Structure 1
Amino acid sequence: MFTGLVEEIGILDGIARQGEAMVLTIKASAIMDDIRIGDSIAVNGVCLTATKIGGGVFSVDVTPQTYRHSNLGLLKPGSRINLERAMKAGGRFGGHLVQGHADMTGTVRRLSKEQNAVLIEIVPDKPDLSKFIIPQGSVTVDGVSLTIADTDGESFTVSVIPHTLQETGLSGLKPGSVVNIECDIIGKYVHALLGPAASGKGAERSGITLDMLASNGFA
Structure 2
Amino acid sequence: MFTGIVECMGRVVEFARLDATEAGGSGASLTVAGAAAVLGDCHLGDSIAINGTCLTVTEFSADSFKVGLAPETLRRTSLGELQPGDPANLERALAAGHRFGGHFVQGHVDTTADIVEITPDANSIRYKLRVVDPALMPYIIPKGFIAVDGTSLTVCDVNDSEHWFTIMMIAYTQAHVVMPTKSVGGKINIEVDMLGKYAEKVTASILRGAADPEGSGTTSYIEKVVERVLQREK
TM-score by length of 2: 0.84
* Paired AA for residue 63 in structure 1: A
Percent of paired sites with the same residue = 38
Q: Is residue 44 from structure 1 mapped to residue 51 from structure 2 by the alignment?
A: yes
CA contact (8 A) 1:5 1:145 kept: yes
How far apart, in 2, do the equivalents of 1:101 and 1:7 lie? 18
Residue 185 of structure 1 and its aligned partner are, at CA, apart by: 0.9
Instruction: Tell whether the 8 Å contact from 2:39 to 2:62 is kept in structure 1 after alignment.
Output: no
Q: Does the aligned pair in 2 maintain the 1:117–1:159 contact within 8 Å?
A: yes
Which residue of the partner structure matches residue 187 of structure 1?
196
Choose from 145, 154, 172 the match for 2:181: 172
How far off its partner does 1:196 sit? Answer: 4.5
Q: Which has the larger radius of gyration?
A: 2
Q: Which residue of 2 aligns with 1:141?
A: 148
2:154 pairs with 1:123: no
Structure 1 alignment gaps of length 5 or more: none
1:3-44 alpha-carbon deviations (Å, 9 max, x no partner)? 000000000011211399411111012112111111100000
Moved more, 112-121 or 155-164: 112-121
1:56, CA displacement in angstroms?
A: 1.6
Equivalent residue, structure 2, for 1:89: 96
Aligned to 2:232: none
1:33 corresponds, among 40, 44, 56, to 40
Work out which of the residue numbers 94, 109, 112 in structure 2 matches 1:105. Answer: 112
Q: 2:29 aligns with which of 23, 37, 44?
A: 23
Instruction: Please give the alpha-carbon distance, in whole angstroms, between the structure 2 residues aligned to 1:74 and 1:213.
Output: 53
TM-score normalised to structure 1 length:
0.90
Q: How far apart, CA to CA, are the structure 2 residues paired with 1:169 and 1:141?
A: 10
User: Are the counterparts in 2 of residues 196 and 205 from structure 1 also a CA contact under 8 Å?
Assistant: no
Tell me the residue number matched to 2:2: 2
**CA–CA distance in 2 between the matches of 1:165 and 1:205?**
51
2: CA distance, partners of 1:37 / 1:191: 36
Q: Give, in whole Å, the separation in 1 of the partners of 2:216 and 2:178.
A: 42
Rounded to whole Å, the distance in 1 between the matches of 2:134 and 2:223 is: 28
* Structure 2 portions without partners, runs of 5+: 20-25, 229-234
